Structure 1
Amino acid sequence: MEPMSKSIGEFALDIFKEINSSNSDSNILYSPVSLAASLSLALLGSKGDTASQIEKASESENVVPDVHNKLKALFDKLKTASDSELKIGNGLFTQLNFPILKSYLESAQTLYQANLKSVDFGKDKTREYINTWVEAETNGKIKNLFAPNSLDKNTSMILVNAIYFKGKWIKTFKKDNTNNALFHVNENVKIPVPMMSQTERFNYGFVEEMDAQFIELPYENDDFSMFIFLPNKISGLQKITLELLMKSTDSKNMQKTKLEIHIPRFKIEESYDLTSHLKNMGMLDAFSQKANLSGISDVGLFVSKVIHKAFIEVNEEGTEASAATGVVIQPKSATRQFIVNHPFLCLIKHNATNTILFCLKFCSPSL
């Protein structure tokens, strides 16, 4: 794994634990690569303890001093992947009258294709402007990121990141094979969902420590793949850790197996204010008067919010979206069943660099 991809993977673990601590019974969807990009954009203009804390929180300290160039190189690889569409947008919005250093503007544009914009947070048109920017970056999938009255004249700076991915399965599902089936939210609650199905050969594995099985669903040309991790028990999700999942997705831990798979068709959108989570991960100064963002401006700045919103849709054609310790390979002789009818975890990864684009914990269908 490349240093930058490894760093993003470790960051994915940390942010998952933080979000899951307050969302243990809810769906979770986020993009660690997009979040890492946004934090690195802030890191680009930070100094002293503020920079050290951002590095530690985003797990980028292991690739410093070349983190920005390595991240740019990684993005270049991601964007050249064929037959799948990937857009990553980063935005920094500061309150009017803050003079921005020319050196920062040039570096942000060169390394992150990001333009820092000065706006008036006291006007509602600013909220609409940022929402329109996010909507454009995600091909219209994420709308109204900021609700009315969520911004005011006291807002100093906002980091916004947006990611869009669309990929077609190598082995698409036939719509005629999609039928209603029950999804077990828990031992007592069942919800009907449209369940896609097909019988084909897929990479398959079993993680003994988590009592869970997993499969790889590749997108066209194998540039990207979705990995679905399914505990054998309805209530087994709490035993699954993202760390073991990431280790499990090594190709040596999987074997081509004929499978009869049943996967729900779903659409999920989640939004987070990550300020408190990032503080818990050690990024304290950036959100306070102690912030040293002197690489952005000679005038004092601090980060007011870090907002993240992600969208994903999985259907018969593919996916649209705004981990090998103790792995036991099962024999491939007979056709096995892989029925995703209770809570599961999944990752969408760029295979060449082993970079995690999206992490999803699916507990309940959106009705």
Structure 2
Amino acid sequence: MPKSILLVGLAASLMALAPAHAGDAADTSAVLAAQAGLAVDLIDRTLAKEGAANIMVSPASLAAALGLASLGASDAGKAAIARGLGFGDAVNGPERVLDEMNPKTPPAADAPLASGVAIVFDDKLALVPDALSMLAGHRIKPSIEDLDQAQSVEHINGWVRQATRDAIPAILETPPGGGFISLGALSFKARWKTAFEEKSPAAPFRRPDGSTVSVPMMHLAGDGQKFRVDDRFAAVDLAYSGETYRMVVIAARSEKGVGGADLKTLASWLQGEKFEPAKGEIFLPRFSLNDGRDLMPTLHAMGLSPEKASDAAFPGFTTENISLSRVLQKTMIKVDENGTEAAAATAVVTERSIDPKLVRVSADARFAFALRDTKTGLFLAAGLIGDPLLAGE
């Protein structure tokens, strides 16, 4: 492979974090393919919707939070979540991610990756008898509190802050209410196997709108990296110390940079496939990013629609009608000459749904009324009320 020069135009930063407790190769490959497909779909759709210069998502924390919710979902719900997360018909795929993100043994304080999951039920939600024992089988001890109170926000944000090693201070702004909230979070910090040069001189970087800006451009040269190149793209698979974790960086070989639509053709690249050792040269901007959004609209467009209330969406948790309402995610990353710090948290928020058999009358706009005598048929009064505070004469 010829010498490669990476002039990086990043539309997104993707971290391929290897599982801390990898199972057999087939399972790991299935998870990797699903996570790559999920990342591509989320970024492409978010870019089309927002047009943002920088986008970062965490497929791992998303799949963990939804995987935890999936434990209580109906069969139809489990299948929908698995498909939405890129596992196709492999309904147990989200559970595999959940188990990887919820290790049996807590990591050491200085471990590169720390991850965790949690679930909080509203204290007014009637849980089915087996819900707690089922969760215990997955090493999960839920919390139960009033999700309509501000104190629940403090508790949930406190868990996120601890799980991300203070990198993400909060995921909620207001009480979530509703039925339950499931959480997935991770924190990553590691040094490059081979550090970039200490000095990163300023160099031009072309923005998506065609303008240029001067950025500190890190530089690394040598023959200790793995590369992949074709006529459109050049990429490097950067190793961290210990080599369990790696970051793929893909650059376009034209000035246009990498677009969202390009990612669909780069799924195998993102998974680290077909990279070969070669002598190369890497130019990568030093960068940091804090990002976040409600992913529910995007997931809805991807086919993960909230189930109808009549389906009893989470019968493994409760017989009450609960449905997905929001999927909040916050992410951060910092990349410099020495290594990478990253964190992510996802909160799957549910709400109580109205029973379709329950007729609801909500007179919250102009309404009609009629007062009648059922014995005589006389209408004693009738009218329209458009302003309840306007008394008239």
TM-score relative to the length of structure 1: 0.75
Equivalent position SS for 2:266: helix
Partner of 2:252: 231
- Whether 1:277 and 2:298 are equivalent positions in the alignment is yes
Q: For 2:172, what is the secondary structure of its paired residue?
A: coil
Equivalent pair of 1:203/1:215 in contact (CA under 8 Å): yes
CA distance in 1, matches of 2:53, 2:209: 16
Measured after TM superposition, the shift of residue 287 of structure 1 is 7.6
- 1:252, CA displacement in angstroms? 6.7
Give CA deviations for 1:67-110 in whole Å, capped at 9, x if unaligned: 635752686599889x8521222232332211334533333344
1:192 matched to 2:214? The reply is: yes
Corresponding residue of 2:194: 171
Percent identical residues: 23
Query: What residue in structure 2 maps to residue 55 of structure 1?
Result: 82
Q: Secondary structure at the match of 1:303?
A: strand
Q: Does 1:22 align with 2:49?
A: yes
Greater share of residues in helix = 1
Per-residue CA shift, 1:46-71, capped at 9, x if unaligned?
11432332222123343335763575
5+ residue gaps in structure 1? 323-356, 359-367
Q: Which has the larger radius of gyration?
A: 2
SS in 2 for 1:195: strand
Distance in 1 separating the partners of 2:128 and 2:192: 45
Q: Describe the superposition over 1:151-182 as per-residue Cα deviations: whole angstroms up to 9, x where unpaired.
A: 364x333333222111210101242x222223
Letter in 2 for 1:260: E
Which of 265, 279, 285 is the matching residue for 2:286? 265
RMSD over equivalenced CA pairs, Å: 3.2
Contact (CA 8 Å) 2:208, 2:256: kept in 1 or not? Answer: yes
> Amino acid of the residue matched to residue 234 of structure 1?
E
Partner SS, residue 323 of structure 2: coil
* Matched residue, 1:346: none
Name whichever of 71-80 and 115-124 sits farther off: 71-80
Contact 1:163 1:310 in 2 (8 A): no
1:151 aligns with 2:178: no
Query: Does the alignment pair 1:182 with 2:180?
Result: no
Gaps of 5+ in 2: 1-25, 346-393
Instruction: Please name the residue that 1:339 is paired with.
Output: none
Deviation at 1:250, TM superposition (A): 6.8
CA distance in 2 between counterparts of 1:12 and 1:250 reads 11
For the residues of structure 2 that align with 1:152 and 1:222, how far apart are their CA atoms? 40
1:43 Cα deviation from its structure 2 partner: 1.1
Q: Which residue identity lines up with residue 90 of structure 1 in the other structure?
A: V
Following superposition, the deviation at residue 190 of structure 1 comes to: 2.2
Other structure's SS at 1:253 match: coil
The verdict on how the C-alpha distance between 1:250 and 1:119 changes in structure 2, with shifts beyond 3 A counting, is closer
Preserved contact between residue 179 and residue 322 of structure 2 (Cα < 8 Å): yes
1:92 equivalent in structure 2? 119
- Paired residues, number: 317
- Paired amino acid for 2:158: T
Query: Per the alignment, do residues 27 and 107 of structure 1 end up closer, same or farther by CA in structure 2, a change over 3 Å counting?
Result: farther
Q: Secondary structure at the match of 1:64?
A: coil
